[in-house]
A and B are shown apart, each in its own frame.
Chain A
Amino acid sequence: EAGVTQSPTHLIKTRGQQATLRCSPISGHTSVYWYQQALGLGLQFLLWYDEGEERNRGNFPPRFSGRQFPNYSSELNVNALELEDSALYLCASSFGPILITNYGYTFGSGTRLTVV
């Protein structure tokens, strides 16, 4: 069974540009979560999508946005990049809200975004 896949592995952008990160969940999982892990900091919750809808959002500005496609894959878009957006962005997937109480999250390997 394929795990959670994220692309690209690394991404270098200049300040002010836009970045698009992609995530494919495990087959059968309908929920996708995005987390930011800046250097030396903990994991900060960004967004949760389930069945194509945004279900919850962390304390991030609106320039962080995303969507979930009919096949449950997801994109994270970061507009007007700032230097402090440099971080490891992790995607996780799980079964939907009803089943999640019995199952955990599976994480991908992450996308390392560097803003110069």
Chain B
Amino acid sequence: KQEVTQIPAALSVPEGENLVLNCSFTDSAIYNLQWFRQDPGKGLTSLLLIQSSQREQTSGRLNASLDKSSGRSTLYIAASQPGDSATYLCAAKNSGSRLTFGEGTQLTVNP
């Protein structure tokens, strides 16, 4: 059974700082890994999708990496802004088409 863990659970940084969010998974036989953002009481917004054959994906100030062999993914956010404040979730997809989510990292970027 896949288990996904995210560290840290919460993070508070000043505006402009570069930061890294960590995600680890126990079953390396994943098809892909997806990073989402969730604002309070809202749905999930997809940020980046990394296929199992890829090492990283980039979108604007976001960069996600994947190391299947070690069961790890990281989300790098450059030059953080107050608007980046949200909960960030990673989710691993194994066979059976269901995603297994981590508990999330609650990010606060202070002006």
For the complex, count residues of A whose C-beta is within 8 A of B.
Answer: 28
Query: Which B residue's beta carbon lies closest to that of A41?
Result: B103
Please judge, given known A-B contacts A100-B31, A102-B51, A110-B42, whether A42 and B101 are in contact too, CB under 8 Å: yes
B61 located at the interface, meaning its Cβ lies under 8 Å from any Cβ of chain A in the complex: no
Q: Pick from B14-22, B67-75, B78-86, B90-98 the stretch touching chain A.
A: B90-98
* Residues of chain B with a CB closer than 8 A to A92's CB: 44, 99
* Residues of chain B with a CB closer than 8 A to A33's CB: 97-99
Cα–Cα distance between A58 and B31 once the two chains are bound (Å):
20
B41 touches A88 (CB 8 A): yes
* Residues of chain B with a CB closer than 8 A to A45's CB: 98-100
Question: Per-position contact with B for A81-115: 1 when CB-CB < 8 Å, else 0?
Answer: 00000001010101001001111111111101000
B44 touches A90 (CB 8 A): yes
Among A104, A108, A112, chain B packs the most CB atoms within 10 A around the CB of A104
A31 touches B34 (CB 8 A): no
B101 touches A48 (CB 8 A): no
B101 touches A105 (CB 8 A): no
A104 touches B97 (CB 8 A): no
A43 touches B89 (CB 8 A): yes
A103 touches B97 (CB 8 A): no
For A55, give its contact among B36, B45, B97 (CB under 8 Å).
B97
Question: Per-position contact with A for B39-70: 1 when CB-CB < 8 Å, else 0?
Answer: 00111111001011000000000000000000
Name 10 A/B residue pairs within 8 A (Cβ), A-sorted: A33-B99, A43-B89, A45-B100, A90-B44, A92-B44, A102-B51, A103-B49, A104-B32, A104-B46, A107-B44
New A-B pairs, 20, CB < 8 Å, besides A55-B96, A102-B32: A33-B98, A42-B102, A45-B98, A48-B97, A56-B97, A56-B98, A88-B41, A92-B44, A100-B31, A101-B32, A103-B49, A106-B46, A107-B36, A107-B45, A108-B43, A109-B42, A109-B43, A110-B41, A110-B43, A112-B41
